[in-house]
Chains A and B, each alone.
Chain A
């Protein structure tokens, strides 16, 4: 069942020059099915983050429309940086969406604690962000997203700043968590490997103006990272990305 569809979505950003601004997205069309894990893959500046922010409702499209089947579902967003409140411990950070919805403290605490535990941070609930490593901060950020009990999780290059080993571990954890909760994920990345590993579908985007140039269905991971099948999937995605540029 289709969760949302973008129809002819365009977005222009104002610049200082009087040339009408930069066309970030033009005639963007795609559908997301419930339960999919879709990667938006493309080079920097192709408008993939803009597409994600449009879906989140943080910005409005200049043309076209974003259609939800039914009401807009509960959303969560994860940025490239962990974007935690430095003055609050991990538990308070994870509890943020619940606090904003005025969930009673005891219930919010136990939900946030459970979310932290799922990310392997049970022992770090009272740690402050500065006491955590980059990977652990990102785990808190994901715990915060899961605490909101989203139906759709939007992720904007969440692991781009992490080292390879941390990244691989977080990829596996994310896949397991999304599957457990039946969350639909839209995942922005510029890593071929990451998109091939995580996705049930990869949408390849080309820049200026951003549009979809390939729609590649894949078998979703976790994969054996050294297997020929996975190498083949990566090659397929890489070829589409090169063709788009």
Chain B
């Protein structure tokens, strides 16, 4: 029952708003290059379906590759930090600098360095930089949160560093890492969009580029269609990572237990 209203209520609101939008555009006779009606956006979507899907796929590919790169690099760096305080003290400030410097500002430099002939690698690198930090900082926190008594017990039974890492620290860090993944998934998409914007004409083929291109041609309906697809992609990434989190934690973690509030 609760589940049904959870879906029905937002859906009804969306339909009502779209109806209102359609009605206002028709009554006030707003020109389509200012605000196209939902029906016009749907037309633009259907007319450009094949090319929009190709763009969606391009952006999705950059996002997924960037997310995986950030995941591997973030977890590897966090493991390094957990094994060596010296490495953590030396490198952590630079990780913070990387995080606080707006990626839009670094993006042009990266594009020049990596080169426009390897545009895909440049896009992935830019997006991965955006997604990297939450994975690093959350996983570092998680690896440090291991039950101290369990660690002593494992040492008593002669566990090696790697056994403690593998059997205690990594499982402890898992909920932290999965929480970070949900954030990083969204950030990777934002990073991919920023990268496409910066890369600009003649190189990128993703949804963000389609938005700029459609804007230049005053095809506002196509712009909206691409924007809608980007939002859907973001929601899909979030939902997929939430499902993964639930599936991995459902047997043991408090966050995945269903309890009446």
Is the A/B pair a real complex? yes
* A→B interface (CB under 8 Å): 56-58, 75-77, 79, 81, 83, 85-88, 96-97, 99-101, 128-130, 148
A101 touches which of B150, B153, B157, B168 (Cβ 8 Å): B157
Q: Is B24 at the interface (CB under 8 A from chain A)? A: no
B147 touches which of A56, A76, A83, A100 (Cβ 8 Å): A83
With known contacts A87-B174, A128-B251, A130-B257, A100–B149 Cβ distance under 8 A: no
In the assembly, what is the distance between CA of A86 and CA of B145, in Å? 13
With known contacts A101-B158, A130-B257, A79–B153 Cβ distance under 8 A: yes
With known contacts A79-B153, A83-B150, A100–B252 Cβ distance under 8 A: no
Closest chain A CB from B256 CB (angstroms): 10
A100 B157 Cβ-Cβ under 8 A: yes
A79 B156 Cβ-Cβ under 8 A: no
Residues of chain B from 83 to 118 with CB closer than 8 A to chain A in the complex: none
Q: Which residue of B lies closest to A53 (CB)?
A: B152
B174 A100 Cβ-Cβ under 8 A: no
Q: Which residue of B lies closest to A130 (CB)?
A: B252
Give chain B residues whose Cβ lies under 8 Å from the Cβ of A87.
171, 174, 251-253
Q: Which residue of B lies closest to A154 (CB)?
A: B156
A128 B252 Cβ-Cβ under 8 A: yes
Give chain B residues whose Cβ lies under 8 Å from the Cβ of A99.
167
Residues of chain B from 126 to 171 with CB closer than 8 A to chain A in the complex: 147, 149-150, 152-159, 163, 167-168, 171
Give chain B residues whose Cβ lies under 8 Å from the Cβ of A88.
171, 252
In the assembly, what is the distance between CA of A229 and CA of B251, in Å? 49
A56-B156, A83-B150 known; 6 new pairs, CB 8 Å cut-off, are A58-B152, A79-B149, A85-B171, A96-B154, A100-B163, A100-B167
In the assembly, what is the distance between CA of A77 and CA of B155, in Å? 11
With known contacts A85-B168, A87-B252, A128-B252, A100–B150 Cβ distance under 8 A: no
Closest chain B CB from A71 CB (angstroms): 14
How many residues of B are in contact with the other chain, CB < 8 A? 21
A58 B155 Cβ-Cβ under 8 A: yes
In the assembly, what is the distance between CA of A86 and CA of B249, in Å? 10
In the assembly, what is the distance between CA of A100 and CA of B168, in Å? 12
By DSSP majority rule, is chain B's interface helix, strand, loop, or mixed?
helix
Q: Which residue of B lies closest to A97 (CB)?
A: B157
Q: Which residue of B lies closest to A156 (CB)?
A: B149
Chain B CB within 10 Å — which of A81, A100, A129 has the most? A100
Residues of chain B from 184 to 213 with CB closer than 8 A to chain A in the complex: none
The 3 closest A-B pairs by CB, nearest first: A97-B157, A83-B149, A100-B157
A129 B154 Cβ-Cβ under 8 A: no
In the assembly, what is the distance between CA of A148 and CA of B174, in Å? 27
With known contacts A129-B252, A130-B257, A77–B156 Cβ distance under 8 A: yes
Give chain B residues whose Cβ lies under 8 Å from the Cβ of A76.
156
In the assembly, what is the distance between CA of A96 and CA of B163, in Å? 11
A86 B157 Cβ-Cβ under 8 A: no
Give chain A residues whose Cβ lies under 8 Å from the Cβ of B155.
58
In the assembly, what is the distance between CA of A16 and CA of B156, in Å? 28
B158 A100 Cβ-Cβ under 8 A: yes
In the assembly, what is the distance between CA of A96 and CA of B152, in Å? 13
Give chain B residues whose Cβ lies under 8 Å from the Cβ of A97.
157
Give chain B residues whose Cβ lies under 8 Å from the Cβ of A100.
154, 157-159, 163, 167
Closest chain B CB from A11 CB (angstroms): 16
Closest chain A CB from B33 CB (angstroms): 56
Give chain B residues whose Cβ lies under 8 Å from the Cβ of A83.
147, 149-150, 153
In the assembly, what is the distance between CA of A81 and CA of B152, in Å? 13
Give chain B residues whose Cβ lies under 8 Å from the Cβ of A101.
157-158
Q: Which residue of A lies closest to B248 (CB)?
A: A87
| Sample (21) of A-B pairs whose CB atoms are under 8 Å apart | A57-B156, A58-B155, A58-B156, A76-B156, A77-B152, A77-B153, A79-B149, A83-B147, A85-B167, A86-B252, A86-B253, A88-B252, A96-B154, A97-B157, A100-B154, A100-B159, A100-B163, A128-B251, A130-B252, A130-B254, A148-B157
Chain A CB within 10 Å — which of B149, B156, B253 has the most? B156
Q: Which residue of A lies closest to B257 (CB)?
A: A130
Give chain B residues whose Cβ lies under 8 Å from the Cβ of A57.
156
Closest chain A CB from B59 CB (angstroms): 35
Give chain A residues whose Cβ lies under 8 Å from the Cβ of B252.
86-88, 128-130
Give chain A residues whose Cβ lies under 8 Å from the Cβ of B152.
58, 77
Q: Which residue of A lies closest to B152 (CB)?
A: A58
Give chain A residues whose Cβ lies under 8 Å from the Cβ of B157.
96-97, 100-101, 148
Chain A CB within 10 Å — which of B147, B157, B158, B253 has the most? B157
Closest chain A CB from B245 CB (angstroms): 14
